[in-house]
Amino acid sequence: MNLFEVYSLFPVSIVKGKGCHVWDDEGTEYLDLYGGHAVISIGHAHPHYVEMISKQVAKLGFYSNSVMNPLQKEFARRLGKVCGYDDYSLFLINSGAEANENALKLSSFYNGRTRIISFSKSFHGRTSLAVEATNNPKIIAPINDGGHVHYLPLNDAETFKAEISKGDVCAVIIEGIQGVGGIQLPTPEFFKLLRSECDKYNTVLILDEIQSGYGRSGKFFAHQYAGIRPDLITVAKGIGNGFPMAAVLINPKFTPVYGQLGTTFGGNHLACTAALAVLDVMEEEHLIENAAKVGAFLMDELKKLPQIKEVRGEGLMIGLEFEQPIKEIRSKLLFEQKVFTGVSGTNVIRLLPPLCLSKIEAEDFLERFNKVI
């Protein structure tokens, strides 16, 4: 059997990682400024993370959600405290797409509606409603094109007010910072407008913090720069530092119903242990503060480079837009300078390093980057 080839792969096989560095099967070391799509939050192979997972899997890796799992309650308590949403409830699942699916289902259960507002260049996942809410027709299969979603321009207040005033919108879903869309930032004023208009029309506000959350922006959630509180918040990626896990943070106005939502693997013992280890390291090593500090340094230095058209982002979620396609720049970074970066579209490089990136490592990246551009 062969793999179903849906990815264009670099001819590199990564076999080892440590902190912000990875090694291939030939022993070549790379600086990781991408973190596997923003998944690696506390660094590769952090010793505390490795120890906790090893001890847990030696005892019990999995049992079903038909029995109590104290690790779930401990994680919910810890997460609520650190992110500022300790009055919310937590539903644990496996992936970002699944988190958004459940958020959209909860919204429809809540107000009985079926219409969704999403935004241009958005990305919310590749399954059912999540992919329909993603503004990329190339990945929406005919069976997923159910006519539920209306895409609006980001930060266009008047267009948004006109659409939501129809009174039939189930949910508004928006990323804290658009990732795949090219590190596009909703303005604080736009976030506040979404909150007030959703309140006016009993529409659910969903904040997709799958890529922009978990400390990456320099705050726990990117929407916290605007000082709003969404009804539902979806998280994944950095939550488990590579272990598949996701969650929905749920406003108290939603009432749980037995059997309404469910999952086989979500919140299993090993996943919760991974997530608890991540919170331990984030708190003990002050990684959110580090993301803010090192990210600000990186952005300030990158803005000095005339070759870059625009530098956008917050914390360690940074987009570098060029006038020309960046394929050759990214290729030279990887194969000549041994630096992993991401991409968005044809003209934007994305930087999503582990949150433990040091200023010295940031300076190292800048030196290698300058050699290429």
What do you get for the CA distance between the two ends of the chain, in Å?
Answer: 42
How confident is the model over 220-256, as pLDDT tens digits? 999 999 999 999 999 999 999 999 999 999 999 999 9
Quote the tokens at residue 207: 């904040």
Collect all residues with Cβ–Cβ distance below 8 Å to 140 and sequence separation of at least 6.
Answer: 131, 132, 134
d(CA 80, CA 221): 12
Confidence band (pLDDT; 50, 70, 90) for 360? very high
CA pair distance 340, 361, nearest whole angstrom: 13
Q: Per-residue confidence at 299, pLDDT binned at 50, 70, 90?
A: very high
**What's phi and psi for 206, nearest 5 deg?**
-105, 125
Fold of 48-284: Aspartate Aminotransferase; domain 2 (3.40.640)
Reference 317, options 232, 224, 219; nearest CA is: 219
Domain ranges of the chain: 48-284
Percentage of the residues of the chain whose pLDDT score is greater than 90:
100
Residue 344 — very low, low, confident or very high, per pLDDT cuts 50/70/90?
Answer: very high
- Which burial class, exposed, middle or buried, applies to 304 when counting CB atoms under 10 A from its CB (0-12, 13-18, 19+)? exposed
Tens-digit pLDDT profile for residues 138-170: 999 999 999 999 999 999 999 999 999 999 999
| CA dist 97 → 89, 142, 190, 269 (Å) | 19, 18, 24, 21
Rounded to the nearest 5°, which phi and psi values hold at 249? -95, 125
Give 337's DSSP letter.
S
- Could you tell me the sign of the dihedral formed by the alpha carbons of 235, 240, 242, 246, in that order? negative
As a whole-number percent, the residues of the chain with pLDDT over 70 amount to: 100
Question: What is the pTM assigned to this prediction?
Answer: 0.97
Which residue in the block uniquely carries the two structure tokens 């950095």? 238
DSSP state, 142? Answer: G
Report the mean per-residue pLDDT for the chain: 98
